[in-house]
Amino acid sequence: MSRIKSKFQDLKSKNQKALIAYTMAGFPNEKGTISAVRGLVKGGADIIELGMPFSDPLADGPVIQNAGFHALQKGMNFDKFLTLVKKIRKETDIPLVLMTYTNLLYRHGYEKFISIVKKAGIDGLILPDMSVDESKDFLQAAKKHEMDTIFLISPNTTPQRIKKTSGVSSGFLYLVSVFGTTGGQQQFQDYTTHAIKNAKKILDGKIPLAVGFGVSNPDQARFIIKSGADAIIVGSAFLRLIENASSEKIEGKIESFTKSLKKSTIPE
């Protein structure tokens, strides 16, 4: 069983929901990423998403764009990313998901890329611009290397398409909570609640539903969970913390923020 799947089973037995935390590899630098990951693990994050920066992140808002841009400028690349993953793997068994854009995989060749990151310790992949309609070769390669494939759905995705997308997803399904890019901080509207309830009904317990984009504080996390989500995904809020912390403070700040978020996934 994959690390992600067994994590969700474990949480279910404890009647908890999952906190999925995103950070950008190489932001503010490689050491900073290690500190951030330590803070996330200590604070009780259940799954970590590691972003690998891409020059043209068109699904991302300003915070993740900026983090990726700086990481690339500091020289983050595929080799350094792998080194980082291997270092993290030595310290923790937490499920690790790689979030990046399709071109980085396509350029290496789907299969080559997936086998290499799998070996380094990555358990799943999220590609915001990989549409299920174009996913045949990608899925074949992922299956061969037992890599979880986490697809995204959106509040305007049709029921038929939710079925199709969840059918090829493994680990969890990622529901984009709002119309917008990552890191928006608006108040959630009714359509988000509807989208969560609707998706849960269609999924019928077959795969966990994680909700992200614009979830940035414990109140919002509780709201999303109350609406029926199995997991919350928080990204830009962590990067904003890292952006404003001196390097020796990153771990502690991330840990305490993670704790405050994790609380909202545990029933009172």
Partner 1 sequence: MKLKYPKNGKFGEFGGRYIPETLVPAVEELEEAYLKYKDDAEFKKELRYYLTQYAGRPTPLYLAKNLTEFAGGAKIYLKREDLLHGGAHKINNTLGQGLLAKRMKKKRIIAETGAGQHGVATAMACSALGLHGEVYMGYKDTQRQKLNVFRMNLLGTKVHPVKEGTQTLKDAINEAIRDWITNVKTTYYLLGSAVGPHPYPVMVRDFQSVIGNEILTQMKELEKKSPDSVVACVGGGSNAIGTFYPLIDEDTKMFGIEAGGEGIKSGHHSATLVAGSKGILHGMLTYLLQDKEGQISETHSISAGLDYPGVGPEHSYLKDAKRVKYDAVNDKEAVEAFLLLSKHEGIIPALESAHAIAYAIKIAKNMPKSESIVVTLSGRGDKDVEEVGRYLSKNVKNKK
Residues that bind partner 1 (CB under 8 A): 54-59, 61, 65, 69, 72, 77-78, 101-108, 128-131, 133-134, 151-158, 161, 165, 176, 179-181, 184
Task: Please list, residue by residue across 89-107, b when 16 or more beta carbons sit within 10 angstroms of its beta carbon and e when fewer do.
Answer: eeeeebbbbbbbbbebbee
Q: Which is nearer to partner 1, 40 or 173 (CB)?
A: 173
Minimum Å gap between C-beta 7 and partner 1 is: 24
Min dist CB 215 to partner 1, Å, is 16
Min dist CB 176 to partner 1, Å, is 6
> Catalytic pick from 49, 123, 230, 255?
49
255 part of the active site: no
Q: How far is CA 70 from CA 29, 85, 213, in A?
A: 9, 19, 21
**Rounded CA separation 23/48 (Å):** 8
Task: Considering the complex, state which of residue 155 and residue 218 has its C-beta at the smaller distance from partner 1.
Answer: 155
Nearest CB to partner 1, comparing residues 55 and 260: 55
> φ and ψ at 183, to 5 degrees?
90, 0
Contacts of 40 (CB under 8 A, 6+ apart): 21, 23, 48, 94, 238, 254, 255, 258
CA distance 201 to 42: 34
**Residue nearer to partner 1 on the CB measure, 6 or 131:** 131
Residue in 30, 46, 60, 230 annotated catalytic:
60
Active site residue 133: no
Q: Give catalytic residues, as residue numbers.
A: 49, 60
